[in-house]
Amino acid sequence: MTTFKRIPDAGNLTGKTALVRVDFNVPMENGLVTDDTRLRAAVDTVQSLRTAGAKVALLAHFGRPKGERAAEMSLAPVAGAFAKVLGANVSFVADCKGEHVKKAIADLPPAGVILLENTRFYKGEEKGDMELAKEIAALGDIFVNDAFSAAHRRHVTTAVLAELLPAYAGVTMEAELDALDKALGNPQRPVMAIVGGAKVSSKIDLLKNLVSKVEMLVIGGGMANTFLFARGYSVGKSLCERDLVDTVKEIEANAKASGCEILLPADVVAAKEFKAHAAHRVCGLAEVQDDEMILDAGPASVAALAAAMDRAKTIVWNGPLGAFELAPFDTATNAAARAAGERAKAGKLVAVAGGGDTVAALNHAGAAPDFTFISTAGGAFLEWMEGKELPGVEALKR
């Protein structure tokens, strides 16, 4: 079990102020929030702190202002949107430090909530500047991090504040860390990792880490083409990183040494055009023609993957198995996602997934609700899968 401090460990919070790092980097259009998913994710943490008697001062970034104030990146419109989601008043102050911010917090009623301005309006935020951290820390009594999506950065409000104040994981962060611990930290074995996507080059660190951590590694998407090419198969005009053959062979050798079985497609869906509903055919690995490209795994591959899932107790998924954005080349991803979801829902295994394309693919397949846990934290989820330490998580262990 992951050892980190949680809100109940903070003790009596009556009359205290909690500085809470949240992920409010929400999609906006004409000054209105168009998707409140991230706002809803913060509700449980905020309510638990309010119930414990604390005032809540929310810290968040929005966009990439690069240390400059930009009116279009102000969090002011988000305060009203979060108030609707929370069902309580949410104040706003156009700063993150200073006496006027202290006064705004002091003027809050018991269990009041206030959203501070975009933390990235300060150059010191992304640099992890200690002086800025001290000024922000002076506003509160404890620090709560509920933004796993930003935990891979050592910014003032993701990690440095934890060096100055008692620090705890928020409810959403807690759920994320517990799920990740079940997936790769202390999983039920055998573990199957499914890794898809376009390029091996973007996931070399990930693959090298996984072959030493899991019993089965499924390679899909354009990445699989590079593995097939390294094994001597012709992949026609498919997306393929031919210059990475040596890297792929090294990964395969490491997998063999670690007792990790690599599962590649047994058959493929090939087409001559990269477009939706292009003329296509299912063929064997040795039958791809020079003017064809592989756009999906075939039915035999999906059947083999489903059978392998029956041997697994844990599945960690990142990336689609084919060009899932183009029908019918979403077939393998959809079928595999549903197979994993069905087994997770039946309690046969733990299924954890994450990464932008992955979330979109599982939602597209209608399988997302059946997964044990789905992380919406793209970069942080990937770095965690790569075995890297996340500063925002490490800070909570102190």
Q: Which residues are catalytic?
A: 38, 199, 356, 379
Contact 136, 106 (CB under 8 A): no
Q: Which of 378, 396, 392 is nearest to 155 (CA)?
A: 392
Q: Which of 214, 219, 181 is nearest to 336 (CA)?
A: 219
Please tell me whether the peptide bond between 391 and the residue prior to it is cis, using omega within 30 degrees of 0.
no
β pairing state of 280-284 and 267-271: antiparallel
Q: Which of 374, 275, 379 is nearest to 323 (CA)?
A: 275
How far is 235 from 226, CA to CA, in rounded Å? 8
Please tell me whether the peptide bond between 328 and the residue prior to it is cis, using omega within 30 degrees of 0.
yes
β pairing state of 167-169 and 191-195: unpaired
How far is 242 from 389, CA to CA, in rounded Å? 31
How far is 298 from 329, CA to CA, in rounded Å? 10
How far is 18 from 113, CA to CA, in rounded Å? 10
Q: Left (φ > 0), alpha (ψ -120 to 50) or beta: where does 393 sit? A: alpha
The torsion angles phi and psi of 392, rounded to 5 degrees, stand at -70, -25
Residue 334, SS3?
helix
How far is 291 from 288, CA to CA, in rounded Å? 8
Residue 199, SS3?
coil
Greatest CA separation found in the chain? Answer: 73
